[in-house]
Amino acid sequence: MNKTHNQKAWFMVLPVVLLVAFSAVIPLMTVVNYSVQDTFGNNEFFWVGLEWFEEILASNRMHDALGRQVIFTTTILLIEIPLGIFVALHMPKKSGFWSSICLVLVALPLLIPWNVVGTIWQIFGRIDIGLLGYTLDQMGIDYNYTQDSFAAWVTIIIMDVWHWTSLVVLLSYAGLKSIPDAYYQAAKIDQASRLSVFRYIELPKMKGVLLIAILLRFMDSFMIYTEPFVVTGGGPGSATTFLSIDLVKMAIGQFDLGPAAAFSLIYFLVILLISWVFYTVMVHSDKEAGL
Query: Binding of other proteins at residue 37 (CB under 8 A)?
Result: yes
| x/- map, 147-176, other proteins, by CB under 8 A | ------------------------------
Answer yes or no whether residue 284 interacts with other proteins by CB under 8 A: yes
Please report whether residue 137 would count as binding other proteins according to CB under 8 A: no
Residue 115 as a binder of other proteins (CB under 8 A): the answer is: no
Q: If binding is defined by CB under 8 A, does position 21 make contact with other proteins?
A: no
Q: Counting contacts by CB under 8 A, is residue 5 touching other proteins? A: no
Cβ proximity to other proteins, 208 vs 233, nearer residue: 208
DSSP output for the chain: -PPPP--GGGGGGHHHHHHHIIIIIHHHHHHHHHHTEEE-STT-EEE-TTHHHHHHHH-HHHHHHHHHHHHHHHHHHHHHHHHHHHHHHTS--S-SHHHHHHHHHHHGGGGS-HHHHHHHHHHHT-TTT-HHHHHHHHTT----TTT-HHHHHHHHHHHHHHHHHHHHHHHHHHHHHTS-HHHHHHHHHTT--HHHHIIIIIHHHHHHHHHHHHHHHHHHHHT--HHHHHHTTT-STTTT--HHHHHHIIIIIS--HHHHHHHHHHHHHHHHHHHHHHHHHHHHHHHHTT-
Residue 238 touches other proteins, criterion: CB under 8 A? no
Closest distance of CB 50 from other proteins, Å: 5
By CB under 8 A, the residues from 239 to 278 that bind other proteins are 266, 269, 272-273, 276
Shortest spacing between CB 269 and other proteins, in angstroms: 5
With CB under 8 A as the contact rule, which of the stretches 103-111, 180-188, 228-236, 280-288 interacts with other proteins? Answer: 280-288
Applying the rule CB under 8 A, the residues between 42 and 101 that interact with other proteins are 43, 45, 47, 49-51, 53-54, 57-58
Residues at the site binding other proteins, with contacts judged by CB under 8 A: 26, 29-30, 32-34, 36-37, 39, 43, 45, 47, 49-51, 53-54, 57-58, 266, 269, 272-273, 276, 280, 284, 287
